[in-house]
Chains A and B, each alone.
Chain A
Amino acid sequence: MPNFIDRRLNPKDRSLGNRQRFFKRVREELKRTIRDQIKSDRITDVDATHGVPIPKRGADEPSFHHSRASGERNYVLPGNETFSPGDRLRKPETGGGGGGGAAGPGRGENTDDFLFVLSREEVLDLFFEDLELPDMVKLNLRETVSYKSHRVGFSTVGTPCNINVGRTMRNSFGRRMALRRPSEREFQALTEEIATLEREEEPSLQQRRRLSHLRDELAVVERRRLRIAYVDPVDVRFNRFERQPLPNASAVMFCLMDVSASMGEREKDLAKRFFVLLHLFLKRRYERIDIVFIRHADEAREVDEETFFFSKQSGGTVVSTALEEMLRIIEDRYPSNLWNIYAAQASDGDNANGDSDRCAELLREKLMRLCQYYAYVEIIDERESEIFGSTDNGTSLWRAYRTVDSVVPNFQMTRVARPADIYPVFRKLFARHQPVQLRR
Chain B
Amino acid sequence: MAKRPVSSLLFDGSEWNFATLSRVYDAIDAIAIDEMGLNVYPNQIEVISSEQMLDAYSSVGMPLMYQHWSFGKRFVFESQLYQKGYRGLAYELVINSNPCITYLMEENTMPMQALVTAHAAFGHNHFFKNNYLFRQWTDASGILSYMDFAKKYIAKCEERHGLNAVEQVLDSAHALQDHGVFHYRRPPRLSSAKEMERARERLEYEEQTYSDLWRTLPMAGGSSGTEEAEREALERTKVLNLPEENLLYFLEKHSLILEPWQREILRIVRVVAQYFYPQIQTKVMNEGCATFVHYSIINRLFDQGQISEGAMLELLSSHANVVFQPSFDDTRFSGINPYALGFAMMQDIKRICTEPTQEDRDWFPGISGNGNWMGTLIDAWENHRDESFILQYLSPALIRKFRLFRLSDHATNKFCEVTSIHNEQGYAAVRAALAGNYDLAANRPDIQVVDVDLLGDRQLRLKHVIKNGILLEENNRGATLAHISRLWGYEVSLAGIDVSTGKVLYECSSTQA
A residues with a Cβ closer than 8 A to B are 1-8, 10, 12-15, 17-25, 54, 59-81, 83-91, 96-97, 101-105, 107-108, 111, 114-117
B421 nearest CB across to chain A (Å): 6
CA of A64 to CA of B59 in the docked complex: distance in angstroms?
22
Find chain A residues with CB under 8 A from B325 CB. 78
A-B contact pairs, 15 of them (CB 8 A): A6-B47, A8-B52, A18-B70, A21-B69, A22-B69, A54-B73, A63-B174, A64-B178, A65-B473, A72-B411, A74-B436, A79-B327, A85-B420, A90-B415, A91-B415
Q: Does B6 contact A (CB under 8 A)?
A: no
Residues of B within 8 A of A68 (CB): 411, 473
The answer to whether A15 touches B417, judged by C-beta atoms less than 8 angstroms apart, is no
A19 to B68, CA, bound (A): 9
Add 19 more A-B contacts to A75-B409, A80-B418, A107-B333 (CB < 8 A): A4-B21, A17-B67, A18-B58, A18-B69, A21-B68, A21-B69, A21-B167, A24-B69, A63-B175, A63-B480, A64-B179, A64-B444, A72-B470, A76-B405, A76-B437, A81-B403, A85-B423, A104-B334, A117-B83
Cβ contact within 8 Å between A87 and B75 = no
Asked if residues B404 and A75 are in contact (CB atoms below 8 Å), the reply is no
Q: Is B30 part of the contact surface with A, judged by Cβ < 8 Å? A: no
**Secondary structure at chain B's binding surface: helix, strand, loop or mixed?**
mixed
Does B378 reach chain A (CB closer than 8 Å)?
no
Bound CA span A83–B406, Å = 10
Known: A1-B22, A74-B419. A67 touches B333 (CB 8 A): no
- Which residues of the partner chain A approach B468 to less than 8 Å between Cβ atoms? 71-73
| A244 to B236 alpha-carbon distance, docked (Å) | 78
- How many Å lie between the Cα of A74 and that of B432 in the bound state? 10
Task: With A25-B69, A64-B472, A77-B405 as known contacts, state yes or no: A114 contacts B418, CB within 8 Å.
Answer: no
CB distance from B473 to the nearest CB of A (A): 4
| A18 touching B99, Cβ below 8 Å | no
B109-129 residues at the A interface, CB under 8 angstroms: 121
Residue of B nearest to A111 (CB): B77
- Closest Cβ of chain A to B20, distance in Å, is 11
Tally chain B residues at the interface, Cβ within 8 Å. 104
- A167 and B171 alpha carbons, distance in the complex (Å): 62
- Given A24-B69, A84-B421, does the pair A4, B45 have CB atoms closer than 8 Å? yes
Given contacts A62-B175, A78-B328, A90-B415, contact A54 B77 (CB under 8 A): yes
Establish whether residues B52 and A2, one from each chain, have CB atoms under 8 Å apart when the complex forms.
no
Docked pose: A111 CA to B72 CA in angstroms: 15
Identify which of B55, B408, B430, B471 contacts A73 (C-beta below 8 A).
Answer: B408
Q: Contact partner of B402 among A5, A10, A18, A78, CB < 8 A?
A: A78
Residues of B within 8 A of A25 (CB): 69
Decide yes or no: A80 and B476 within 8 Å by CB, A15-B75, A18-B59 being known contacts: no
For the complex, is B335 an interface residue (Cβ under 8 Å from A)? yes
Contact status of A66 and B473, CB under 8 A, knowing A4-B47, A15-B59, A18-B72 = yes
Q: In the complex the two chains form, what is the Cα distance from A382 to B174 in whole Å?
A: 44
Give complex CA distance A20, B167 in Å: 13
A residues within 8 A CB of B329?
79, 101
User: Which residues 81-126 of B sit at the A interface, judged by CB distance below 8 A?
Assistant: 81, 83, 99, 103, 106, 121
Shortest Cβ gap from B51 to chain A (Å): 5
Using Cβ atoms and an 8 Å threshold, which residues of chain A touch B421?
80, 83-85
Are B42 and A15 interface neighbours, CB within 8 A? no
In the complex, whether B410 has a CB less than 8 A from a CB of chain A is yes
Complex contacts, B22 vs chain A, CB 8 Å:
1-2, 4
A374–B510 alpha-carbon span in the complex (Å): 59
* Contact of A2 with B42 at beta-carbon distance under 8 Å, contacts A18-B58, A76-B336, A114-B77 already known: yes
**In the complex, which of the residues A15, A61, A105, A114 contacts B58, with contact meaning CB atoms closer than 8 Å?**
A15
Q: Which of B72, B443, B477 contacts A19 (CB 8 A)?
A: B72
Partner of A67 from B175, B178, B437, B474 at Cβ < 8 Å:
B474
3 smallest beta-carbon distances between A and B, as pairs? A79-B327, A22-B72, A71-B470
B272 surroundings in chain A (CB, below 8 A)? none
| CA gap between A22 and B74 in the complex, in Å | 10
Q: Which residue of B lies closest to A18 (CB)?
A: B72
B150–chain A nearest beta-carbon distance, Å: 15
Complex Cα distance A91/B418, Å? 12
Is B453 in the interface zone, CB < 8 Å from A?
no
The smallest C-beta distance from A6 to any residue of chain B, in angstroms, reads 5
Contact of B445 among A62, A64, A107 (CB under 8 A): A64
In the complex the two chains form, is B106's CB within 8 Å of A80's CB? no
Contact A116 B77 (CB under 8 A): yes
Q: How far is the CA of A18 from the CA of B106 in the complex (A)?
A: 24
Distance, CA A23 to CA B431, complexed state (A)? 46
Q: In the complex, how many angstroms separate the beta carbon of B505 from the nearest chain A beta carbon?
A: 10
CB nearest to A65 among chain B residues: B473
Residues of A near B469 (CB, < 8 A) are 70-72
Query: Is the pair A62, B479 in contact by a Cβ cutoff of 8 Å?
Result: yes
Among A62, A69, A103, max chain B CB count under 10 A is at: A62
Q: Judge whether A67 and B473 touch: CB under 8 Å.
A: yes
B408–A80 touching, CB < 8 Å: no
> What's the minimum C-beta distance from B17 to chain A, rounded to whole angstroms?
10
**B55/A12 in contact, CB under 8 A:** yes
- Does B18 contact A4, Cβ atoms closer than 8 Å? yes
The answer to the question of B352 belonging to the interface, with a C-beta cut-off of 8 Å to chain A, is: no
Query: When each residue 43-61 of chain B gets 1 if its CB lies under 8 Å from chain A and 0 otherwise, what string results?
Result: 1111111011011001100
**Contact call A78/B415, Cβ cutoff below 8 A:** no
Q: From A2, which residue of chain B is reached at the shortest CB distance? A: B43
Residue of A nearest to B102 (CB): A2
Q: How far is the CB of A271 from chain B (nearest CB, A)?
A: 33
A321→B466 CA distance, assembly (Å): 75
- For residue B430, which residues in chain A have a CB less than 8 angstroms away from its CB? 76
- Whether the pair B81, A114 counts as a contact (CB closer than 8 A) is yes
Q: Considering only CB atoms, which chain A residue lies closest to B121 in the complex?
A: A2
A1, A63, A67, A78: the one within 8 Å of B404 (CB): A78
Decide if B472 touches A67 in the complex (CB within 8 Å): yes
Residue of B nearest to A24 (CB): B69
Report A-chain residues with C-beta under 8 Å of the C-beta of B445.
64-66
CB distance from A101 to the nearest CB of B (A): 5
Give the Cβ gap from A61 to chain B, nearest Cβ, in Å.
6
If A20-B72, A89-B418, A104-B328 touch, does A65 touch B48 (CB 8 Å cutoff)?
A: no
Give bound CA distance, A360 to B69, whole Å: 55
Which of A71, A78, A107 is in CB contact (< 8 Å) with B471?
A: A71
Give the complex CA separation of A23 and B70 in angstroms: 10
Q: Which of B99, B335, B423, B480 contacts A104 (CB 8 A)?
A: B335
Distance from A317 Cβ to chain B, minimum over Cβ atoms (Å) = 47
- Chain A residues within an 8 Å CB radius of B106: 8
CA distance A116 to B327 in the complex (A): 31
User: Chain B, 451-472, contact with A by CB distance < 8 Å: what is the 0/1 string?
Assistant: 0000000000000101111111
Asked whether B362 is an interface residue with its Cβ less than 8 Å from the other chain, the reply is: no
Once the chains are docked, how many angstroms separate the CA of A61 from the CA of B327? 32
Partner of A97, one of B48, B167, B416, B472: B416
Contact A103 B409 (CB under 8 A): yes
Whole-angstrom distance between the Cβ of B478 and the nearest chain A Cβ: 8
Q: Which residues of B contact A116 (CB under 8 A)?
A: 76-77, 79-80
A12 cross-chain contacts in B, Cβ below 8 A: 49, 51-52, 55
Chain B nearest CB from A429 CB (Å) reads: 36
Q: Which residue of A is nearest B75, CB measured?
A: A15
What are the residues of chain A within 8 A of B433 when measuring CB–CB?
74-76
Given A4-B45, A83-B418, A85-B425, A77-B407 contact (CB < 8 Å): yes
Name B47's closest neighbour in chain A (CB-CB): A6
Q: Which residue of B58, B77, B407 contacts A89 across the interface (Cβ within 8 Å)?
A: B407
Cross-chain contact of B418 among A17, A60, A87, A103 (Cβ < 8 A): A87
A114 CB contacts on chain B under 8 angstroms: 77, 80-81
